[in-house]
Amino acid sequence: MPSIPGNFAVFIQDVCYKHKFIRSRDTSTIVERPERLRAVKVGLAAALSRLEEVHSASSSKTSNRSDDPDILAAALDKMKLEGSSTSQSTFGPITVVHSAATMPLLDSPAVKFVHGDIEGDVYLENVSKWAAESAEKIGRGESEIPEGLPQGDLYLCPESIIAMEGAIGTTCEAVDVVMSGTLPSSATEAAASSGIKRAFVAVRPPGHHCGEDTPCGFCFVNNVAVAAAHAHLKHGIKRAVIFDIDLHHGNGTQSIIWQINEETYRQTVEAEADAPITDPGPKVYYGSIHDILSFPCEDGKPELVQAASVSIHDAHGQWIENIHLKPYDNEEGFHALYEKEYRKIIERAEHFLDNTGGAGEDVLVFISCGMDACEHEYTSMSRHNRKVPVSFFDRFTQDACAFADRYAKGRLVSVLEGGYSDRALISGTLAHICGLVDIPSESREALKDSWSLDNLIKLEKATKKRAARSARPSGVGASSEPWLERAVAIFTSIDANGAAILAASPKAASRSKVVPPSSRTLRERKKPKGSHAVPVAQEDASDASLLSSLSDSEGDQVVAPALGGGVSGTEKKLPRVILRLGPDPLSKQ
C-alpha cells in the first residue's frame, strides 16, 4: 500500500480567541463565540489521530509515533506554542501550523482591494475606531455597535481588531504556502519539501456576510475575498473559484465578487475597443449551496432572496451559481440529491474555467467552509430542516480537491466560516480534514465511522472541560480506545496556547446594557453609473429586542439568536399596499 502524501497543512491562529462579546456577562444567546475554535481543534485532533493510524499502516517507514504516554508527552512538549512566531508540527500526513501571521487592516493592499474606498478607507477606519472605543461605550451603558447596524449579531471588544488581523493574515499566509508549496523556514525539512498544496484555516470571526463596507451576520472583514485579492496581487492569480458551503448565503462575498467581475469586464470591453489597459483584474467564480429560508433571506426581502438565487454564467462578465438545500429522508436520499443537484456548483466552476482558458498556473480554489448546515447544528440555528449529513463534508471536500487537481495544480485553501454547536464543528471538521487528505479508498472506507454518533459522544466526553475553572480536558480512562487517547493528547497540545488566551480574555460588563434605539441606516456607497452590482444585505434594525430569541430552540444547550437581530425605538410597519381598481362596472349599467 502506498504511503499517504503529506501535501496538506492546517493553520491555527490563536489570537482569534481574542474577539469576544463583552456587552454583558449573559452570553447564553451568543453563538459566534471563541469556544468555536476549541471545538474545531477537537475535530482536528480526532482527524489527526485517525489519519495517523492510516498513515502508520500504509507507510513503509518506521513510524515516530509511540503509544507510550511518556514518550508521547515528551514529543508534544517540543511543540512551540507560545505564539511568538509561526511554528509547525507534523502528525502523520498533516502539518499543523501555529501561525503568528497578521495583516494590518489599514495598511494592506489586499484588504484595501476589497474593503477600501477611493475617497479613503472610511469603513476600515470606522471598524478600528468602534473596537477601540468598545469598552468605554459599554461602560457608559451604550452599545459598541453604531445605530443602524444589527445589534443582535454584531459585537466588538478592544482586541477584536487583533483577531481580525490575525484571521486575514493567517488566511493569506496559507495562500502563500499553497502557492509556493513550502512552509515557513521553521518547518521541518521533510514537511517543507513535501509540496503543500492544500490548506485548512481555522480562524474567526467569519467573513462571508461582510460586503465592501457592510458588516453583518457576525462578519466584519471578508477573509476569503481578501485572500483571493492577495492571491491576485502577490501571486498573479487571474482566476479564482470560491465554493461556499455554509448554511447561509454568502451575500457579502457575492456582492464583492460581482463588483470585481464588473470592473474586470469593463476593462475587457475597453481593451476590445482599443482603449489602453495595463493589467486587467481577476475573474472570480462564486458557487454557493445554502438554505434560501435562512438568513439573510429569512424575512423574504426580494433583493436578498433574488441575490441568493442568482445563476449567471458569462453574461456581463459574471460567473455565479446558487443552489438551495432541500430536505431529505435519509443519507442515501441526500447523496442522490447531491449527485443530481449540489454537484452543479462544481460543474459550473468547470464551465467557468473551460471558457476562460482551462487549467493553468493562474487558478486558485477556495472553500468558504461553514459547518452550520451540519445535521448536528443547533435546531435554533438550522430550523428549516435544510441540513446535510456529516458525510457531506467528506464527499464535497474530496470532489473540490479533485477539481483543484484538474484545474489548479491541486492548490486549494479552505477557510472556516459558520458552525456553532460543538458537535457540528467537531464532526464537520473531522470529516472535512479527512476529505482534504489523499487516502487509499480502502482506508477511507474505514474512516467513515470516525464521525458516528457514538464516537462523537466519546470524543466530547473525553475533551470536556473540567468544572473547576480549568480549560484542560477531563481526559480518558485506562480502557479507552487508542485513537481516542491519542486524540485527547493531540488536542491538549494544540489548544494549550488558545486556552491560556481564553483565560486572559477581557471581562464582560457586570450587567446587561440597554442599547439605545436605532434610527440610522447604513451609509450608501456611490457606484459608477451603469453598475449592476448585487446589493449586500443591509440589515433592518427594527427588531424589538437586543438579541432575538427563537421559539423552537428547546433541547439545545444554547439558544441561538436569529441572525440580523437589531433594535429600534419605532414600531415595525407593514409595507404600504396600493390597490389599483378599474372603473365601477355598475356605473355603466
In angstroms, the CA 336 to CA 333 distance is 5
Residue 460 belongs to a domain: yes
245 and 428 Cβ atoms separated by less than 8 Å? no
In angstroms, the CA 307 to CA 413 distance is 25
Span 512-523, mean pLDDT? Answer: 36
In angstroms, the CA 212 to CA 123 distance is 8
Query: 210-224, 305-319, 528-542 — which is least confidently predicted?
Result: 528-542
Please give the model's pTM, rounded to 2 decimal places: 0.82
252 and 286 Cβ atoms separated by less than 8 Å? no
Q: CATH number for the domain including 446?
A: 3.40.800.20
Residue 2 belongs to a domain: no
Closest among 70, 77, 219 to 150, alpha carbons compared: 219
Neighbour-count burial of 561, counting CB atoms closer than 10 A to its CB (0-12 exposed, 13-18 middle, 19+ buried): buried
Closest among 19, 17, 16, 72 to 45, alpha carbons compared: 72
DSSP 222: -
Q: What angle do CA 350, 337, 302 make, to 5 degrees?
A: 80
In angstroms, the CA 349 to CA 371 distance is 21
Residue 135 has pLDDT above 80, yes or no: yes
Residue 314 belongs to a domain: yes
Helix (H, G, I), strand (E, B) or coil at 240: strand
Closest among 414, 400, 439 to 52, alpha carbons compared: 439
Q: Which residues contact 11 (CB under 8 A, 6 or more apart)?
A: 97, 99, 170, 171, 173, 174, 199, 200, 201, 202, 203
Q: Which residues contact 504 (CB under 8 A, 6 or more apart)?
A: none
Q: Give residue 394's domain range.
A: 8-588
Check residue 444 and give its pLDDT.
85
Residue 227 belongs to a domain: yes
49 and 455 Cβ atoms separated by less than 8 Å? no
The three three-digit cell numbers of residue 511, written as one number? 450587567
Closest among 306, 303, 310, 305 to 295, alpha carbons compared: 305
In angstroms, the CA 589 to CA 584 distance is 10
Closest among 131, 149, 24, 142 to 516, alpha carbons compared: 142
Query: 158-167, 338-347, 544-553 — which is least confidently predicted?
Result: 544-553
Residue 572 has pLDDT above 50, yes or no: no
Helix (H, G, I), strand (E, B) or coil at 403: helix
Q: What total number of domains does the chain contain?
A: 1
Closest among 244, 268, 275 to 317, alpha carbons compared: 268
Query: For 148, left (φ over 0), alpha (ψ -120 to 50), or beta?
Result: left
The three three-digit cell numbers of residue 369, written as one number? 467552509
Residue 315 has pLDDT above 80, yes or no: yes
In angstroms, the CA 25 to CA 528 distance is 45
Helix (H, G, I), strand (E, B) or coil at 57: helix
pLDDT single digits (tens) 70-110 = 444 443 443 333 333 566 666 667 899 999 999 999 999 99
pLDDT band at residue 418 using 50, 70 and 90 as cut-offs: very high
Most confident range (mean pLDDT) of 283-297, 481-495, 542-556 is: 283-297
Residue 1 belongs to a domain: no
Rounded to the nearest integer, the mean pLDDT of the chain is 82
369 and 416 Cβ atoms separated by less than 8 Å? yes
Residue 3 belongs to a domain: no
pLDDT band at residue 131 using 50, 70 and 90 as cut-offs: very high
Closest among 528, 539, 523, 522 to 258, alpha carbons compared: 528
Check residue 185 and give its pLDDT.
60
Cβ burial 519-547 (10 Å sphere, 16+ → b, else e): eeebeebeeeeeeebbbbbbbebbbeebb
Span 9-17, mean pLDDT? Answer: 97
pLDDT single digits (tens) 241-300 = 999 999 999 999 999 999 999 999 999 888 887 777 667 899 999 999 999 999 999 999
Q: What angle do CA 335, 338, 339 make, to 5 degrees?
A: 95
Check residue 446 and give its pLDDT.
82
Portion of the chain with pLDDT greater than 90, in percent: 63
255 and 222 Cβ atoms separated by less than 8 Å? no
Residue 380 has pLDDT above 80, yes or no: yes
In angstroms, the CA 583 to CA 328 distance is 50
Span 388-404, mean pLDDT? Answer: 98
